[in-house]
Amino acid sequence: MNKKIEGKINQLLNSDAVNYFETSERLVLMNMLEKEIISELEKVSLYKIIEKYKRFIKN
C-alpha cells in the first residue's frame, strides 16, 4: 500500500470521523493498515469511505 493511502487512512482514524464510522467501515480501515497489498475490491471500498468522510481529512 502506498504512503498516500496509508496517510489518508490514518488521518480518518485520528479525526472526528471515527465518531461517525459504521462498524464495517472501521474494520475495513483497520484491516487495510495491517496489509502490505490491498485488493481492487478493498481499494473501491476505501475510496468510497474516503469520499464519504473527506471533510474530516486535512490536506
Pick from 58, 56, 31, 55: nearest CA to 45: 31
Average pLDDT (9-37) is 92
Residues 6+ apart with CB under 8 A from 12: 18, 29, 49, 50, 53, 56, 57
The pLDDT value recorded for residue 59 is 62
Q: Which residue has the cell 473527506?
A: 54
Q: Which residue has the cell 475490491?
A: 41
Average pLDDT (2-15) is 91
The pLDDT value recorded for residue 2 is 84
Indicate yes or no: pTM above 0.85: no
Average pLDDT (15-24) is 93
Domain assignments of the chain as residue spans, ordered by start: 3-56
